[in-house]
Chains A and B, each alone.
Chain A
Amino acid sequence: MDDERPIFVQIAEQIEGQIVDGSMAEEGQVPSINELAAFHRINPATALKGVNVLVEAGVLYKRRGIGMFVATGAREALVQRRRDAFRADYVRPLVAEATKLSISPAQLADMIKKEAGR
């Protein structure tokens, strides 16, 4: 919890990350607001705000009196959204930095191939 973005955004992204990498299964129960607040040492209202972002996006859903669960299809939707953002978030800065260092697109492609083959 230390970059410039609001903490509730970071909480939401962290839960998303766990859904994407499979450590939080679909239809699995998500930690409670109080557990999140205690773990990250943040205000419970902030944790609630982060979780509500995901509820509104349909990633999580509430079962009254029981808790919060990961919706079916959430992983697929998140992966798709991240793919859509991949170019702007990762490829563009990568190419910008490569250009600064006079690394050609061909050299860059070569590096990517080698890295992927490790």
Chain B
Amino acid sequence: MNAIVEVQDLTKRFGKVEAVKHVSFAFAEEGIHGLLGRNGAGKTTLMKLMTGQEFATEGEVRVFGHSPVENAAVLGRVCFINEAQVYPEDFKGRHALKAASRFFSRWDEAFAARLVDDFAPPLNRPIKKMSRGQRSAIGVIVGLASRAELTFFDEPYAGLDAVARQMFYDHLLADYAAHPRTVVLSTHLIDEAANLLERVVVVDEGSVIIDADAEDLRSQAVTLVGKADGAHAFAAGREVLGVQQLGGLASVTVAGLSDTDRQEAREAGLEVGPVSLQQLVVSRTGGRTADTSEGALQ
């Protein structure tokens, strides 16, 4: 793998709080990757570390092979769209786009204009007075039109409705196809974005708990539904991620089943159902009950 971002045994402490704990992972060059986890898991801190906005307490971050901290050669190739981006007082939407067009060497003005048409943010309104969705639209436009070699989107579509989010996914895929680059997306709307992602890194309480190809994760866990005693008997001794029971019926989420195991489960009268990436992340990050009730309802 040709890594564009390498994080090696990285730790970040804020006073006594360890926001990132001995984390190591890498993102390959060219691809759309996901950095997932619950709120407060450390996603934003990691992104700030990877874009030189925070200093590492311990460990190392390398972007394009170099430290990003105060390194203009690296940062000129990186775009970071942060939900909590702070703009200068009285900065209007059009000022943000103008500033971005000057900063990013690969900025595409015509593409930006198309995005402005689609997302229709009020460019003459001060950003401070914009709604959350309108601010997100500005961020999405800057992130896409910058065409930076490495783009981080941190929760890029807070406040955007389903139609606008779909527009973002479609623009991202189409523009990525025409101009391959590396995109790292953090989102809590995991199911929506799941199929777009190549590599998935999941952080929980400052540690990496999953680092895998999205495709491999898709088939990592299944939900078995059937008679309670049969389901429990089958699940015994396996890695159980969640259990939900309704009378004599049980739904058990189990990880690491082979094709043969699945066939066996079916032959034992259990229904084998998919577990989405979102359910998997939820169950791996401590939300067991919520996960299985969702799974049982499907």
Contacts and interface: CB of A to CB of B under 8 A. Distances in A.
Interface in A50-107: none
A40 B194 CA distance: 12
A69 to B, nearest CB: 20
A46 B195 contact: yes
B148 interface: no
Contact of A6 (B31, B169, B218): B218
A42 interface: yes
A38 B31 CA distance: 15
Contacts, number: 54
Main secondary structure on chain B at its contact with chain A?
helix
Interface in B19-43: 31-32
Nearest to A33: B177
A41 B215 contact: no
B273 interface: yes
B195 A41 contact: yes
B218 A38 contact: no
Contacts of B218: 4, 6-7
A4 B273 contact: yes
Given A4-B218, A38-B174, 7 more contacts: A4-B219, A34-B178, A41-B169, A43-B214, A44-B173, A45-B31, A46-B215
12 contacts: A4-B272, A6-B218, A6-B219, A7-B215, A37-B177, A38-B173, A40-B195, A41-B170, A42-B196, A43-B198, A43-B214, A46-B195
